[in-house]
Chain A
Amino acid sequence: DTGVSQDPRHKITKRGQNVTFRCDPISEHNRLYWYRQTLGQGPEFLTYFQNEAQLEKSRLLSDRFSAERPKGSFSTLEIQRTEQGDSAMYLCASSLAWSSRKGTEAFFGQGTRLTVV
Chain B
Amino acid sequence: GIQVEQSPPDLILQEGANSTLRCNFSDSVNNLQWFHQNPWGQLINLFYIPSGTKQNGRLSATTVATERYSLLYISSSQTTDSGVYFCGGSQGNLIFGKGTKLSVKP
Contact = CB atoms under 8 A, between A and B. Distances in A.
> Real complex partners, A and B?
yes
Interface stretch (B41-49, B55-63, B66-74, B75-83): B41-49
Interface residues of B, number: 23
Contacts of B30: 98, 104
B42 A106 contact: no
A47 to B, nearest CB: 8
Contacts of A108: 35, 42-43, 45
Interface residues of A, number: 25
Interface stretch (A12-20, A62-70, A109-117): A109-117
B48 A105 contact: yes
Top 9 nearest A-B pairs (CB, nearest first) are A42-B96, A105-B48, A108-B43, A104-B31, A110-B42, A48-B93, A111-B41, A42-B98, A43-B96
B94 interface: yes
Nearest to A107: B45
Interface in A41-94: 41-45, 48, 55-56, 89, 91, 93
Contacts, number: 61
Nearest to A112: B41
Interface string B1-28: 0001000000000000000000000000
Contacts of B90: 104, 106
Given A89-B41, A106-B90, 7 more contacts: A42-B99, A43-B96, A44-B96, A56-B92, A98-B31, A98-B92, A108-B35
A37 interface: yes
Contacts of A48: 92-93
A113 B40 CA distance: 10
A105 B31 contact: yes
A42 B97 contact: yes
